[in-house]
Amino acid sequence: MNGPQTVMVNWVREVNCTRLGGIFCWSDFNITCSDQLNFNETSPFLVMWCKAYSEDEEDNIILENPELNTFWAISSSFLNVGGFVSSLFCKALANCFGLKGALYLLSGIYCCGVLTVV
C-alpha cells in the first residue's frame, strides 16, 4: 500500500474498532498489542476491524475486509469523478461568473465538501 492509503485505512479501522467497543492497536507503536487482545470467535466484526497487522501483512488489510475495500474504492474515486463533473461545467461557470468568480465558487464548493467529510 502507499503511504496515504495506509494512514487513512488504519484511521477508518481505528474508528470502527472503537465504535464496536474494541481496542485498536497501531502496529508501529505497540509491538505487544496483539498479545493484549483476546478475540473470541463469536465476534468476527471485532476481529475484522481490530486485528493488528505487521508491516509484512499490511497488503492484506483491504483484501480481508470487504467493507473497508468498498469504502476505500469509493472514497478514492471521488477525486476522479469530481474532476470529470467539474470539467463539464467549467465553461458555463466561467461565462456566467467570470474566470475569477468561477474559481471562487468552485473553491467554496470544495471547501464545503471537505468540511462535511471532517
- pLDDT digit string (tens) for 80-115? 887 888 788 888 989 999 999 998 988 888 888 778
Give the three cell numbers for residue 55. 508491516
pLDDT (0 to 100) of residue 64: 83
Query: What does the domain layout of the chain look like in residue ranges?
Result: 1-64, 78-118
Max CA pair span of the chain = 62
What is the pTM for the complete model shown?
Answer: 0.60
Q: Among candidates 44, 48, 82, which has minimal Cα distance to 65?
A: 48
**Under DSSP, is residue 118 helix (H, G, I), strand (E, B) or coil?**
coil
- pLDDT digit string (tens) for 23-79? 777 655 544 454 445 555 457 777 778 877 777 777 788 888 888 888 888 887 877
CA–chain centroid gap for 93, Å, is 31
- The answer for residues whose C-beta is within 8 angstroms of residue 17's C-beta and 6 or more apart is 23, 24, 46, 49, 50
